[in-house]
């Protein structure tokens, strides 16, 4: 087999260095995100404060798993690669990363006064939209009778989505011969003698699982975003909602939509790109590294969008500049009337 054309952007060293740089940049940004949620969330957002906190927690956990522990050096068009992170356990890391993608959050079922754990970054986004709908519009509808079963079903699916690929992971002993025969050229190999890991030799099964794991949360989030938008904009408002409350909730809904869109964009685009490379059989290690890096910067982008899209956090960020802004000088002129006595001539 001939060697692939060497380019630093397509090397494992570039990928590993880039992930470390992303981790160093992400740490203070994530910390600032935690501070904003805990200290700068106003009263009208208190019902989603801990939902945002848990979503942020699991975005950070996903970043740690993917960008520090994992660092996957993937060799598309074959779903195979090396793990360059601090832990060399690709099978476990793969399962944890996809499971955290689909984190964990808490939701208060006010109808039963219990707390339940709901895993998944994407599932927790669905829970936030559902929470908005239920508190504002759904407490007197049939939804209150079925919501807990839908939410429980959603989090039960999270650890099960990627169980089928785990059950059918091929024997790794002869994986190198199989992979080198499938690739058109030999990519650059990591120098620290990591084991090559083949995720699946059945592309159809993996594609179906990815489609289901991506499609279900997208449908859930899209449905409840639409319901919230419809009731806030078009439908007749409940008597308990004042015009001021409607405007505040509408702005909050838009901010949540912008924040959640980042998650879907930074994961759907790399997934679609990977599928195209696999289906076309195109091999380019530079593209492979770019796809993986796009997922790696998700946490930074998500946190920045969160603090910018929500008005209370945005005002806190720009408050030092507003305080230092020079105010126009005001000149006060006092006019004291004088009395003039004019005597008779």
Buried-state track 259-297, b at ≥16 Cβ within 10 A, e below 16: bbbbbbebbeebeebbbebbeeeebbbebbbbbbbbbbb
Q: Cα 236 to chain center, whole Å?
A: 33
Q: How far is CA 61 from CA 88, 93, 291, 301, in A?
A: 18, 12, 20, 15
Query: Long-range CB contacts (< 8 A, 24+ apart) of 277-281?
Result: 277/76, 277/77, 278/76, 278/77, 278/78, 278/79, 278/203, 279/77, 280/77, 281/77, 281/184
Residue 19 pLDDT exceeds 90: yes
Q: Is the dihedral of CA 29, 31, 32, 37 positive or negative?
A: positive
Task: Give the pairing type, strands 80-83 and 72-74.
Answer: antiparallel
Is 8-324 a domain of CATH 3.90.1150.10? no
pLDDT tens across 119-172, in order? 467 888 888 899 989 988 988 899 999 999 998 898 888 888 888 888 888 888
Three-state SS at 77? coil
Domain ranges of the chain: 8-324
pLDDT tens across 52-91, in order? 998 898 889 889 989 999 999 999 999 999 999 998 889 8
Residue found under tokens 């429980």: 152
At 119, which helix (H) or strand (E)? strand 114-119
Distance CA 72, CA 81 (A): 7
Q: How far is CA 192 from CA 82, 88, 195, in A?
A: 10, 11, 9
Q: Is the dihedral of CA 96, 98, 102, 103 positive or negative?
A: positive
pTM for this entry? 0.81
Residue found under tokens 């190198």: 176
Residue 110 pLDDT exceeds 50: no
Cβ–Cβ < 8 Å for 81, 75: yes
Distance CA 103, CA 58 (A): 4
Q: What is the mean pLDDT of the chain?
A: 83
pLDDT of 106: 42
């Amino acid at each position: 087999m001939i060697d692939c054309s060497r380019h630093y952007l397509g090397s494992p060293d570039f990928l590993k260095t880039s992930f470390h740089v992303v981790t160093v940049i992400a740490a203070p940004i994530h910390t600032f995100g935690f501070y904003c949620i805990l200290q700068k969330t106003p009263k009208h957002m208190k019902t989603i404060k801990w939902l945002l906190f848990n979503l942020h927690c699991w975005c950070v956990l996903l970043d740690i798993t993917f960008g520090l522990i994992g660092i996957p050096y993937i060799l598309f068009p074959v779903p195979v690669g090396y793990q360059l992170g601090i832990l060399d356990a690709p099978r476990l890391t793969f399962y944890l990363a996809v499971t955290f993608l689909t984190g964990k959050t808490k939701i208060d079922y006010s109808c039963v006064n219990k707390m339940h754990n709901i895993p998944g970054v994407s599932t927790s986004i669905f829970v936030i939209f559902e929470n908005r709908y239920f508190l504002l519009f759904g407490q007197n509808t049939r939804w209150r009778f079925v919501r807990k079963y839908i939410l429980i079903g959603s989090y039960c699916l999270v650890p099960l989505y990627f169980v089928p690929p785990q059950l059918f992971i091929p024997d790794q002993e002869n994986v190198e011969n199989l992979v080198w025969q499938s690739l058109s050229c030999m990519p650059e190999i990591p120098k620290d003698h990591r084991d090559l890991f083949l995720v699946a030799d059945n592309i159809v099964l993996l594609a179906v699982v990815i489609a289901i794991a991506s499609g279900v949360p997208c449908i859930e989030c899209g449905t409840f975003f639409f319901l919230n938008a419809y009731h806030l904009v078009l439908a007749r408002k409940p008597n308990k909602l004042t015009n001021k409350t409607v405007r505040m909730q509408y702005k909050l809904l838009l901010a949540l939509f912008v924040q959640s869109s980042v998650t879907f964009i930074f994961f759907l685009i790399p997934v679609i790109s990977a599928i195209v490379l696999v289906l076309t059989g195109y091999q380019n290690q530079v593209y492979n590294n770019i796809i993986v890096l796009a997922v790696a910067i998700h946490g930074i982008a998500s946190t920045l969008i969160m603090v910018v899209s929500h008005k209370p956090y945005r005002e806190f960020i720009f408050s030092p500049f507003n305080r230092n802004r020079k105010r126009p000088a005001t000149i006060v002129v006092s006019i004291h009337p004088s009395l003039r006595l004019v005597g008779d001539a």
